[in-house]
């Protein structure tokens, strides 16, 4: 699991930003916590404060350690903070795998260009490698073996090179790191279509996935749970499946149809996007970051999705939202809700001197400014 994340000089972050996922000692909603780490986090903050940038930064690790879908280039503009254009971008991830802790740090000049990498396992340095200083290229012999890394350029991660060219059982914790990164996913629940990074490559369309998975009746049920009653069927058009919605003419009882996509509102498409990722990834994910996860959704639908995600214990979830209806201890708890201010992320539990309890109204406290520091 991801225990802590730090980023500095990335996009709008001119100072170090720390996202600490260590849980507090509450006795309710313990299903949101796993091994002392927040498993289901909700992030709040004003527009433009950096919530989206945090998600983009968090998935940066997948750009050089995996071969999965890259972050769209439009989101990587102004990669380095414009007030410090000559300063490297710094990333640090702290992972907890069972009783073991793995720390991975790196610096970049741009998304594709590494400056240095550092790997530490249980407080022992394994890699401390600079791409521009030959006197600082330490790699522990236990993972290096007979590999030659002298010819590596800074577009290829030395850690990835070693992992790809040594037996996968050479270091089980490094294997766990790569498995975790391979199964990270970021997507935006906005009107831009299926914009995502990580987890897979290219992939099928939402309609194609629904057809291939044979989940049309389950999708109808999912929509009904969210107040949408559709009768759906697939038809092959020029060899490709098209999802149609059927309606009964009130006067003639004849069946009329139209492509579902042409009828769906932005809110319905947001639900479809969530369901698409649910049937294609949720059984394999390690971590999902959904940006503006409830954009265009009614607050009741947003609550249902939050409840559903809260029951899925096999992966970590980080949601960004402005929906204060989710700030209730019936759904979450103070150490799972975070507020983002300028260069700072703080859990509600740590953002006030008040001893928050299960009976407190988190939404009322948030609106009153209790967590603004």
| Tens-digit pLDDT profile for residues 190-227 | 666 778 999 998 777 899 999 999 999 999 999 999 99
Q: In Å, how far from its chain's centre is CA 6? A: 15
State mean pLDDT over 334-342.
96
C-alpha distances out from residue 39 to 287, 314, 326, 334, Å:
9, 9, 16, 13
Quick check: 182 and 68 in contact, CB under 8 A? yes
C-alpha distances out from residue 111 to 69, 76, 236, Å:
14, 7, 41
Position 190 scores a pLDDT of 66
pLDDT, tens digit, for every residue of 62-92?
Answer: 999 999 999 989 999 999 999 999 999 999 9
Q: Examine the pLDDT at 49 and tell me if it is beyond 80.
A: yes
Q: In Å, how far from its chain's centre is CA 270? A: 16
CATH number of 2-199+285-367: 3.40.50.300
pLDDT, tens digit, for every residue of 278-293?
Answer: 999 999 999 999 999 8
Position 253 scores a pLDDT of 81
Position 204 scores a pLDDT of 75
Looking at per-residue pLDDT, the higher value among 89 and 143 belongs to 89
Q: Rounded to 5 degrees, what are φ and ψ at 274? A: -60, -45
Position 349 scores a pLDDT of 95
Q: How far apart (Å, rounded) are the C-alpha atoms in residues 57 and 254?
A: 53
C-alpha distances out from residue 95 to 5, 72, 111, 170, Å:
9, 26, 22, 19
Q: How confident is the model at residue 151 (pLDDT cuts 50, 70, 90)?
A: low
Q: In Å, how far from its chain's centre is CA 231? A: 32
Q: How confident is the model at residue 249 (pLDDT cuts 50, 70, 90)?
A: confident
pLDDT, tens digit, for every residue of 93-126?
Answer: 999 999 999 999 999 999 999 999 999 999 999 9
Position 244 scores a pLDDT of 96
Q: Examine the pLDDT at 40 and tell me if it is beyond 70.
A: yes
Q: What are the residue ranges of CATH 3.40.50.300 in the chain? A: 2-199+285-367
3-state secondary structure of 250: coil
Proportion of the chain above pLDDT 70, given as a percent: 98
Secondary element (H or E) of residue 106: strand 100-110
Position 142 scores a pLDDT of 87
Q: Examine the pLDDT at 15 and tell me if it is beyond 90.
A: yes
Q: Examine the pLDDT at 302 and tell me if it is beyond 70.
A: yes
Report the b/e string of 187-218 with b at 16+ CB within 10 A. bbbbeeeebbbbbbeeeeebbebbbeeebeee
Q: How far apart (Å, rounded) are the C-alpha atoms in residues 373 and 370?
A: 7
Quick check: 158 and 149 in contact, CB under 8 A? yes
Q: Examine the pLDDT at 152 and tell me if it is beyond 80.
A: no
Position 331 scores a pLDDT of 95
Position 192 scores a pLDDT of 67
Looking at per-residue pLDDT, the higher value among 258 and 168 belongs to 258
State mean pLDDT over 357-366.
94
DSSP 319-340: EE---GGG--TTT--TTTEEEE
Work out the number of other CB atoms within 10 angstroms of the CB of residue 117. 23
Quick check: 24 and 319 in contact, CB under 8 A? no
Cβ contacts of 296 within 8 Å, gap of 6 or more: 189, 191, 265, 266, 267, 269, 270
Proportion of the chain above pLDDT 90, given as a percent: 85
């Amino acid at each position: 699991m991801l225990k802590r994340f730090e980023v500095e000089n990335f996009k709008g972050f001119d100072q170090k930003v720390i996202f600490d996922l260590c849980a507090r000692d509450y006795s309710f909603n313990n299903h949101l916590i796993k091994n002392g780490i927040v498993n289901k986090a909700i992030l709040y903050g004003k527009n433009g404060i950096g919530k989206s940038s945090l998600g983009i930064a968090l998935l940066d690790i997948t750009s050089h350690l995996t071969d999965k879908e890259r972050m769209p280039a439009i989101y990587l503009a102004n990669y380095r903070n414009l007030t410090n254009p000559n300063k490297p971008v710094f990333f640090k991830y702290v992972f907890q795998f069972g009783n073991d802790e793995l720390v991975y740090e790196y610096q970049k000049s741009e998304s594709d260009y590494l400056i240095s990498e550092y790997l530490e396992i249980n407080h022992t340095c394994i890699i401390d490698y600079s791409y521009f200083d030959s006197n600082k290229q330490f790699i522990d012999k236990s993972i290096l073996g007979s590999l030659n890394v002298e010819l590596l350029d800074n577009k290829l991660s030395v850690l990835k090179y070693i992992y790809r060219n040594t037996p996968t059982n050479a270091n089980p914790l490094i294997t766990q790191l790569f498995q975790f990164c391979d199964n990270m996913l970021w997507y935006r629940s906005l009107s831009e279509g299926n914009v995502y990074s990580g987890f897979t490559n290219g992939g099928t369309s939402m309609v194609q996935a629904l057809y291939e998975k044979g989940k049309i009746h389950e999708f109808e049920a999912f929509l009904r749970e969210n107040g949408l009653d559709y009768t759906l069927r697939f038809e092959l058009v020029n060899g490709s499946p098209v999802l149609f919605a059927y309606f009964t003419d009130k006067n003639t009882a004849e069946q009329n149809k139209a492509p579902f996509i042409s009828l769906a509102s932005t809110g319905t498409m947001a639900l479809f996007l969530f369901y698409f990722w649910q049937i294609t990834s949720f059984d394999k994910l390690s971590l999902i970051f959904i940006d503006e996860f409830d954009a265009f959704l009614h607050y009741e639908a947003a609550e249902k999705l939050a409840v559903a995600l809260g029951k899925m214990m096999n992966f970590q979830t980080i949601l960004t939202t402005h929906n204060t209806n989710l700030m209730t201890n019936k759904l979450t708890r103070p150490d799972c809700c975070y507020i983002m201010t300028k260069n700072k992320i703080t859990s509600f539990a740590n953002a006030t001197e008040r001893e928050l309890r299960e009976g407190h109204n988190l939404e009322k406290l948030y609106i009153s400014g209790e967590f603004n520091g």
